[in-house]
């Protein structure tokens, strides 16, 4: 009896030590979906709370024209749609990734948490690019911060895929493994956001005319690559 207890205790120690130990895939997906839902909700609350014209202002400043008043918030609405598309597509890529995964590991869970940490920063990116739009002094810096947040959120997703490929026979469906019919397509989806965000960052360093409007239009156009 004592020997059996020691073996069980040893197995628990090894389970908590190795990053290759299995992790509940369902728990990882449930937690991730919750984070994405909260981030999307925060974005919606931001646009609804801060970008609705005051009735008195509509009457006095815009002569009662609601559409004219709403046009004043054009950059904010563009930033909202660009940011929401980014959140939605990153969730879609995450969902596609875990459809191909058969077994999650602790390392994959850790990388997923790191990705979600930057996903949680996307409302901050939205606030920065909407507040510092229209050729303000810090417009380029706001775009760069947004690029950095998006890059790390997506590169950690790519790292999850890379980790799964290292032990693909245990962690991936056959069609998603190297040489499988879905492998190249999944690789392209996971590589898209790191490449685009990195490219946009370098464009801000080279082109002084690069603006938040261009950046958010890029975000809105990206779904057509899928």
Q: In this predicted model, what pLDDT tens digit does every residue of 102-122 receive, in sequence order?
A: 999 999 999 999 999 999 999
Query: Cα(61)–Cα(102) distance, rounded to whole angstroms?
Result: 59
What CA–CA distance (Å, rounded) separates 166 from 164?
Answer: 5
The pTM is what? 0.84
Among the listed residues 132, 88, 105, the one whose alpha carbon sits nearest the alpha carbon of residue 25:
105
CA nearest neighbour of 171 among 62, 20, 7, 16: 20
87 touches 36 (CB < 8 A): yes
Rounded CA-CA distance 173/102 in Å is: 6
Q: Which of 157, 62, 163 is nearest to 119 (CA)?
A: 157
Q: What is the pLDDT of residue 16?
A: 55
| Percent above pLDDT 90 for the chain | 51
Higher per-residue confidence, 140 vs 71:
140
pLDDT in tens, 27-84: 999 999 999 999 999 998 888 777 677 777 777 777 777 788 777 778 888 889 999 9
Closest CA to 132 of 142, 121, 120: 142
CA distance 219 to 214: 9
């Amino acid at each position: 009896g004592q020997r059996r207890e020691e073996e069980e205790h040893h197995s628990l120690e090894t389970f908590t030590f190795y990053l290759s130990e299995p992790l509940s895939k369902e728990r990882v997906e449930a937690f991730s979906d919750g984070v994405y839902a909260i981030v999307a909700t925060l974005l919606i609350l931001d646009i609804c709370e801060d970008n609705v014209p005051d009735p008195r202002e509509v009457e006095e400043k815009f002569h009662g024209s609601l559409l004219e008043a709403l046009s004043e918030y054009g950059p904010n609405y563009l930033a909202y749609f660009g940011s929401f598309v980014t959140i939605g597509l990153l969730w879609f890529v995450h969902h596609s990734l875990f459809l191909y995964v058969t077994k999650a590991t602790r390392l994959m869970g850790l990388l997923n948490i790191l990705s979600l940490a930057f996903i949680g920063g996307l409302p901050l990116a939205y606030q920065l690019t909407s507040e510092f739009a229209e050729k303000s002094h810090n417009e380029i810096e706001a775009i760069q911060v947004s690029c950095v947040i998006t890059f790390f959120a997506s590169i950690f997703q790519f790292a999850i895929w890379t980790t799964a490929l290292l032990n693909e026979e245990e962690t991936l469906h056959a069609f998603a493994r190297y040489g499988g019919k879905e492998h190249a397509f999944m690789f392209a989806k996971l590589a898209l956001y790191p490449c685009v965000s990195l490219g946009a960052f370098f464009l801000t360093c080279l082109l002084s005319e690069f603006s938040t409007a261009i950046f958010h239009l890029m975000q809105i156009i990206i779904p057509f690559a899928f």
